[in-house]
Structure 1
Amino acid sequence: MKIQPQHVVSLTYDLYVKKEDGEEGLVESATQEQPLTFLFGAGQMIPKFEENLSTLSTGDTYDFHISAQDGYGEYDQEAVANLPKEMFEGQGADLPQVGEVLPLQDNNGNRFQGQVVSITEDSVIVDLNHPMAGQELHFKGEIINVRPATPEELSHGHAHGPDGHHDH
């Protein structure tokens, strides 16, 4: 079956990005046993990712690149925040470690993540860029299944697994 909006797509993928030495390294995978399943056209995926898949059908393989600009955006030097240490100390929690990813929320209630890049005398410095910002993404994989979405999935705006049911 051909991929189209309001259909649920299950696929495998290997995601590669260039490492500092210029070689590509595998950073993420979805397997036959645990495929990525999503409602096509619902805005859950990178638009360019869906665009590259839009001509494919069940059983097709794919191999494409997405520029940083069309992926997770360019790396933004300004997207680094200094969080006062008091934010952490008041909750009786230990200070986060460098490299730790923190769940954060802005004043509007939007949730996002930041990675701790350093700790100074009075603040925790957090990089708010997506971990793959500034990276060209290279996807390779296979379309395992394409099926029409159920009315429930359409009303919820997301897929309920490869067969249309939530796993319990």
Structure 2
Amino acid sequence: MKIEPKHVVSLTYDLYVDNDGTEALTESATQEQPLTFLYGAGQMLPKFEENLSTLSTGDEYDFRLSAEDAYGEYDEEAVANLPKEMFSGTDIPEIGTIIPLQDNNGNRFQGQVVSVAEDAVIVDLNHPMAGQELHFKGSILNVRPATEEELSHGHAHGPDGHHHH
């Protein structure tokens, strides 16, 4: 079956990211644990879906997304100084820790602690893959029309369309 909006796609992928001139495998989805998503629902990177748009069940793919089409260029400005009072009652996170944050509008996002100063924790708010070209390789395992429930919820409920309890 061909991939179309309102269809649920299950696929495998290997994601390679350039690491000092060599491509390093960063993430994978396997046949046992595929990535399953509702196509066209805005959950995936738009250019990722665009690259899959001509494919059908059983097809293999191999494409690259520029940083711009993936998680954006690295933004030197996207660094926050969090006052240490924010962490009162808990330990100050170590450098390299990813911490969940929320902005004034209630949007949740993650930041990585880059340094700890005397009165503040400095957090990089860039996506871990910002500024990276992404190289995806994989195959389409299954394509099926989404169920009414999936369409109303706006996301896939697993490869076969049912919740797992």
Matches within 5 A, 1:98-117: 98-117=95-114
Counting matched residue pairs gives: 165
For 1:95, the equivalent position in structure 2 comes to 92
Q: Are 2:83 and 1:84 aligned?
A: yes
CA distance in 1, matches of 2:137, 2:3: 17
For 1:45, the equivalent position in structure 2 comes to 44
For 1:59, the equivalent position in structure 2 comes to 58
For 1:119, the equivalent position in structure 2 comes to 116
- Consecutive aligned runs of 4 or more in structure 1 exceeding 6 Å deviation: none
CA distance in 1, matches of 2:161, 2:63: 28
Give, in angstroms, the shift of residue 166 of structure 1: 1.0
For 2:18, the equivalent position in structure 1 comes to 18
Q: Are 2:156 and 1:146 aligned?
A: no
Q: Are 2:59 and 1:68 aligned?
A: no
CA distance in 2, matches of 1:19, 1:167: 37
Q: Which runs of 5+ in 1 are unaligned?
A: none
Q: Please state whether the residue corresponding to 1:50 is helix, strand or coil.
A: helix
RMSD (Å) for aligned C-alpha atoms: 0.4
Give, in angstroms, the shift of residue 73 of structure 1: 0.2
CA distance in 1, matches of 2:115, 2:61: 39
TM-score (norm 1): 0.98
Give, in angstroms, the shift of residue 25 of structure 1: 0.2
Give, in angstroms, the shift of residue 165 of structure 1: 0.5
Q: Please state whether the residue corresponding to 1:140 is helix, strand or coil.
A: strand
Q: Which runs of 5+ in 2 are unaligned?
A: none
| Deviation readout 1:71-103 (Å, 9 max, x if unpaired) | 0000000000000011002xx110000000000
Aligned identity (percent) is: 81
TM-score (norm 2): 0.99
CA distance in 1, matches of 2:111, 2:162: 33
Q: Please state whether the residue corresponding to 1:167 is helix, strand or coil.
A: coil
The one-letter amino acid of 2:4's match is Q
CA distance in 2, matches of 1:73, 1:148: 31
CA distance in 2, matches of 1:6, 1:121: 51
Q: Are 2:125 and 1:128 aligned?
A: yes
